[in-house]
Amino acid sequence: MSILIVGSVAYDDIITPFASRKYCLGGSAVYFALACHHFDDVHLVGVVGDDFRASDRRLLLEHGIHTEGLVTKPGRTFYWKGEYLANWNDRVTHDTKLNVFEQFDPVLPDAAKQCRFVFLGNIDPVLQGKVLDQVDGKPYVALDTMNYWINNHRANLIKTLKRVDLLVINDSEAMQLSGERHLVDAARTIFEMG
């Protein structure tokens, strides 16, 4: 058993009520890979710019994460600056620069196609669907998304949701996706989407 993780690899400027950090390693693929490496082999697929620090790649490798699918392209790595509010569910995006991520077209290494678990990080739902087209068999698939994709790519998101087993969103996103005002109703409506 192994886990395929496809998503963003980024440099983030993060502001919280307690502290702030600049240009720290982030992105949905990084966070999920570092969490999962304790449990199984992890295959990370993403794109970074030529500014991606060797120490950050080494961090992934030192945790046993397979990085054959982490492609380096000329240009800068995806950048996000955001502020988490006191409740930690809500965030404000101050700046996003897609950089090399704008042209990301995930191609899975052969070993990654065999994974029994797939985590589709917070990326364009069309790309999430392309990943699923490349995997062999019927893995268990989890998908993460956020308000941007819900607002701007709703139809593609709903199409991709029909192909997954688990959706990872917070309460605000659930209400936004479903159009419901109560979480129980939101869950029911989302479940009926596929």
- Amino acid at the residue 75: G
Sequential DSSP letters for the chain: -EEEEE---EEEEEE-SS-EEEEEEE-HHHHHHHHHTTTSEEEEEEEEETT--HHHHHHHHHTTEEEEEEEEESSPPEEEEEEE-TTSS-EEEEEEE-GGGGG------HHHHT-SEEEE-SS-HHHHHHHHHH--S--EEEEE--HHHHHHSHHHHHHHHTT-SEEE--HHHHHHHH--SSHHHHHHHHHHT-
Global pTM exceeds 0.85: yes
Instruction: Quote the pLDDT of residue 148.
Output: 86
What's the whole-number mean pLDDT along residues 63-83?
97
Q: Is the pLDDT of residue 121 over 90?
A: yes
191: how many CB neighbours lie within 10 A of its CB?
Answer: 10
Instruction: Quote the pLDDT of residue 137.
Output: 94
Q: Are 105 and 127 in contact (CB under 8 A)?
A: yes
Q: How confident is the model at residue 106 (pLDDT cuts 50, 70, 90)?
A: very high
Q: What is the pLDDT of residues 17-62, one digit of tens each?
A: 999 999 999 999 999 999 999 999 999 999 999 999 999 999 999 9
CATH of the domain at 20: 3.40.1190.20
Q: Domains in the chain: how many in total?
A: 1
41 vs 146: which has the higher pLDDT: 41
Q: What is the largest CA-CA distance in the chain?
A: 47
Burial call 109-125: b when 16+ CB within 10 Å, e when fewer? eeebebbebbbbbbbbb
Domain span including residue 102 = 2-192
| 141/165 Cα distance (integer angstroms) | 5
Q: Is the pLDDT of residue 65 over 80?
A: yes
Instruction: Quote the pLDDT of residue 138.
Output: 95
